[in-house]
Structure 1
Amino acid sequence: MNEISLFRIYVLRALYLLITIGLGINIWPTIIRHATPWEFMHGVELCMMASFSLLCALGIRYPIQMLPVLMWELVWKTMWLAIVAFPLWQSGHLEEKMLPDVFAISLVVLVYLALPWSYVYRHYVKKQGERWRND
């Protein structure tokens, strides 16, 4: 029995590919060519995004097994939009220089559309968790 349609699997693969290419174009050249030390948080951000791109590349081959990576993406971006961007926009303090980042982060809508929600519910909410000890 196939829990997820082949079409949905290809949608997931396309999303993983889009993320891999997007971050490959934007993050990896900075990582490869950097010549001077980065500020702490800038380095953290670049390394996290680079590792995320590698995990998404793995998701092209294993789209279902790598769902937690997309779920992490969905959670942090949704939180950022709700806790940072929306209040700034609502108060009129969202700076124009932030708009490209807000747009890029708002593409999280693609993750909402691609995730097989019934599978996520069955396997991450409803399913019994792993045992905690050997009894």
Structure 2
Amino acid sequence: MNEVSLIRLYLLRGMYLLVVVGLGIVVLPGVIHHDTPWTPSGGVVQCMLAAFWFLSLLGLRYPLQMLPVLLWELLWKTTWLIVVAAPLWSAGKLDDPSFAMVSDILWVVIVPFVIPWHYVFSRYVQQRGDRWIKSASGATAT
């Protein structure tokens, strides 16, 4: 498997640190101390952001093992920008709340520059996947 350079590991850690600090300031206080009950969808968003914060905290120590978290972040934000924001913008219907959301989500442009794409390709495309059934001998391989 291709080795990831130390500088790339520090870039990943920097990305996780940005998420930890950002969500730690903006989201975490509201999750810990919220005065009124959340709506179900509002609660889902806040709890998912809190989980993302925690997984990013783990990413500081294990940047490669937590890489799927950054890939998920890149994919959902890019999808939202293409499927939701772009049609609103092209129709001239990008209102202030939507524009604020776009501004928050556009930070995703940093993520592709810190991801070690050669590692992603060798780990998630070239490497054999885990088996789906027991081996022929019935023993569990290690």
Q: Shorter chain as normaliser: what TM range?
A: over 0.9
- State the partner residue of 1:26: 26
- State the partner residue of 1:44: 44
Equivalent runs, 1:1-135 vs 2, <5 Å: 3-135=3-135
Number of corresponding residues: 135
- Unaligned regions of 5+ residues in structure 1, if any? none
Per-residue CA deviation, residues 8-28 of structure 1 (Å, 9 max, x unaligned), is: 000000000000110111101
Cα contact 2:2–2:119 (8 A) shared by 1: no
Deviation at 1:29, TM superposition (A): 1.1
Structure 2 counterpart SS, 1:107: helix
Which runs of at least 4 in structure 1 moved beyond 3 Å after TM superposition?
A: none
Q: Give, in whole Å, the separation in 2 of the partners of 1:43 and 1:57.
A: 21
Aligned residues: CA RMSD: 1.2
Per-residue CA deviation, residues 32-79 of structure 1 (Å, 9 max, x unaligned), is: 121221111000000000110000010000000000111110110010
TM-score, L = length of structure 2:
0.91
TM-score, L = length of structure 1:
0.96
> What percentage of residue pairs aligned between the two structures are identical?
51
- Unaligned regions of 5+ residues in structure 2, if any? 136-142
**Aligned letter for 1:61?**
R
Q: Which has the larger radius of gyration?
A: 2
Q: Give, in whole Å, the separation in 1 of the partners of 2:65 and 2:53.
A: 15
**Aligned letter for 1:78?**
T
* The 10-residue stretch of structure 1 (54-63 or 90-99) with the greater mean CA deviation from structure 2: 90-99
Q: Give, in whole Å, the separation in 1 of the partners of 2:63 and 2:79.
A: 24
Per-residue CA deviation, residues 60-107 of structure 1 (Å, 9 max, x unaligned), is: 000000001111101100100000011100110010222222111111
